[in-house]
A and B are shown apart, each in its own frame.
Chain A
Amino acid sequence: MADLDLVAYRAVAMSHAQGLGMFEQVLGHEPVSAPGSGLIYALWVSDIAPIPARSNLNSVSVRLELTGLVLTPADGQPEDDVDVAVTGAVNGLMREYCGDFTLGGTVANIDLLGAHGPSLRAKLGYARFDSTTYRAATLTIPLIINAAWNEVP
C-alpha cells in the first residue's frame, strides 16, 4: 500500500515552486498573517477523499487536494504589473506541475484534466492580511494516490 505521504508530495510541489526562481518565500502552510512583500507561494492540504472510479477491488485510491496560494501586495508599482506577475507565477507553477505530473513518482498523477473531481486550476482574487491587500491566485492541485488503503472487512 502506498499510504499518504504528505511530506514527500509537498516537498516536490514546493521544490517546483522554488525552482522557478520567482518567489520570495515558499511556505508549507497557510499564512495567518501578512507574509511580506514580493511574490509568495504557500501550499497546504485542503481535501482528502477516496475515489470510487479509481479504487480497485480490495483497496482505495485517494484524491488529496493541495491548495496553493500565490500572493503579492496589490499596491505594488507599477500596478499594471501585479496581474502579470501573479499570472506568470501561476503559469510557471502549472507548467511545472504538468511537466512532472507524478511529482517525481511520489503520486500516481496530478489530476490535470479533472478525471476525478475539479481539475488543476487557479482562481484569482484578493486577500487581506492585517492592513495589506494582496492580489491572490488560489491553485487547486489534485493529487491522485493509487491503492492507498486496503479494504478489509
Chain B
Amino acid sequence: MARRVALTIPVLLGVATLVFLLIHLIPGDPAQAMLGEAAPQADVDALRAQLKLDRPLLEQYVNFLGALLRGDLGTSLRTRTSVTAQIAERIPATFELAFAAMFVAMMVAVPLGIAAAAWRGSFVDHAAMAVAMGGMAIPNFWLGPLLAIVFAVELGWLPVSGRGGIDHLVLPAVSLGLALAAMLARMTRASLLEELREPYVRAARARGISRARAVIAHAFRNSLIPVVTILGLQFGAVLTGTVITETIFSWPGIGRLLIQSIGFRDYPLVQGCILLIAVTYVAVNLLTDLAYGWLDPRIRYQ
C-alpha cells in the first residue's frame, strides 16, 4: 500500500512539470501572446518580468514547484487576484455537479444492469443493453442541449442554466451522468453474470433458492466491487465532462472557468485549473486502488 502511494509521487511531479511547460509551448513570445499582438512593448516587457519569463528555464521551474508546494498558483492576468482563491471559490460547484452525475449514473445503471443480468437473453436484456450502447455514443454536448430544449424550453419544468436549488442541478447532472450510466450498466450486467457462475451462488440455487433471490441476496453485493472500481476510475472522465457540461448550462465551476480563461489567454488561471483537475484525478485513482484492496482482500499491493 505504501508502495502504491509512493508510486504517485513521480506521477504528480510529471503532471506539475507538464503544466509548467504549457506556457513554454506557446508559439513565439508567451508574454506577447497573453497580451495580444497590439500590446505596447513596455507592457509585454513588464509582464515578462512579472512572470519571471526572462529567467533561466531551470530557475523558473524550481520557483514554480516551490510556489506550488506553498499552494501558490500565481496571479490571474485578467483579475489580478490569486489563482488559488479563484479556483477554491469554484470547487464546490464542480464537485456538486460531478457527484450528482455519479449519483444519477448509479441510480440508472444498477437497476438496468441487474434487470439485464436477471433476465439474460430476454427482451429486457437486449433493450437495456441497446439503451446502454446508445448512451455511450451520445455526446454530452448534444444530450445537454436536447434535454434543455425538452425539459426547460418546451415543458418549462426546469431552469435552462445557472446554479441554485436542486432543480438547477437535474439537467446538468443527467446530461453528464448518462454516458457513465451506460458504461456502468454494461459493467453491472457482466459482473453480475460472472458472479452468478460462482460455486457459492450455484450452491444456493441448488438448495432451491430462486434466481431472483440468488441475484439480490447473494451475487449482487459481490458484483458491485468492479462496478465501484470503474466508478472511481471514471471520475476523471466525469471531471473532464464538467468542462463541457458547465459550459452548456453556465454552471459556475472549474470547467467553465478553464474555458473562459482560455478565451482571455489568462494562462496562469488555465494552468491552475488544469493542475487542479489532473491532481484530483490522480488522487481519486489512488483512493480507488486503495479502496479496491480494502474491499477485496485477495488484491493487496505489496
Say whether A and B bind each other: no
Interface residues of B (CB under 8 A from A): none
Interface residues of A (CB under 8 A from B): none
